[in-house]
A and B are shown apart, each in its own frame.
Chain A
Amino acid sequence: DGGITQSPKYLFRKEGQNVTLSCEQNLNHDAMYWYRQDPGQGLRLIYYSQIVNDFQKGDIAEGYSVSREKKESFPLTVTSAQKNPTAFYLCASTKRQGGDYYGYTFGSGTRLTVV
């Protein structure tokens, strides 16, 4: 079955450590996105990529980095510069049809905690 796989489901990070969250999709979707959700809050866009080898900053990109070397994969690195990284991270993808994008699909999320 097609879908988006995020791993790991739970991740613990020590202060000053970089960690990478994986996001893989086999839906043949063109665009991929990373969102962050804090308790009781909506989702905020970190980075997005509409095509391989290209990505754009979202609203809260500071302290994060991404790459898009393959259409299927869009890993997110949470760097030590991100001072408050504890949150629920969601990856999403969507397919381009004509000039528009349709059908956001979300992964099941990674819960990151700083220890």
Chain B
Amino acid sequence: RKEVEQDPGPFNVPEGATVAFNCTYSNSASQSFFWYRQDCRKEPKLLMSVYSSGNEDGRFTAQLNRASQYISLLIRDSKLSDSATYLCVVNNAGNMLTFGGGTRLMVKP
């Protein structure tokens, strides 16, 4: 079983739609959690950290469920520019980041 699992997609949604991605992780001792965005042939860039109480940044909302070892990302009012691959990232002890395989989002006009 992979340490961090994501549905690879692609998720094809129309502009303005709400879309949610999920991620599960296997290490119950994982300490911190992130969503990164990666555009085609580019490096990953931090989208947002994920906190236990849930957190929001504009149209993006992240949730963490430690009991179920589950992380989610919700994107409201999707824009064409949101098209990218979204990587679920888990930080274990010693600051080793473990990356999920990514979920590809395509927003259509």
Contacts and interface: CB of A to CB of B under 8 A. Distances in A.
B45 A40 contact: no
Interface in A3-62: 31, 33, 35, 40-45, 48, 58
Size range of the interface on B?
10 to 19
Contact of A45 (B43, B96, B100, B102): B96
Contact of B43 (A33, A42, A106): A106
B99 A43 contact: yes
Contacts of A43: 44, 87, 97, 99
Given A40-B101, A41-B101, A42-B100, A108 B95 contact: no
Interface residues of A, dominant DSSP: strand
Contacts of A85: none
Size range of the interface on A?
20 to 34
B95 A94 contact: yes
Interface in A71-115: 88, 90, 92, 94, 100-101, 103-104, 106-109, 111
Interface in B25-79: 41-46
Contacts of B106: none
Contacts of B102: 40, 42
B105 interface: no
A94 B44 CA distance: 14
Given A48-B96, A100-B95, A104-B97, A42 B42 contact: no
Given A104-B46, A107-B43, A40 B95 contact: no
B87 A42 contact: yes
A8 to B, nearest CB: 15
A106 B95 contact: no
Contacts of B99: 35, 42-44
Given A31-B95, A45-B96, A106-B43, 15 more contacts: A35-B99, A40-B8, A40-B101, A42-B4, A42-B101, A43-B87, A43-B97, A43-B99, A45-B97, A48-B96, A58-B96, A94-B95, A103-B46, A106-B45, A109-B42
Interface of A: 31, 33, 35, 40-45, 48, 58, 88, 90, 92, 94, 100-101, 103-104, 106-109, 111
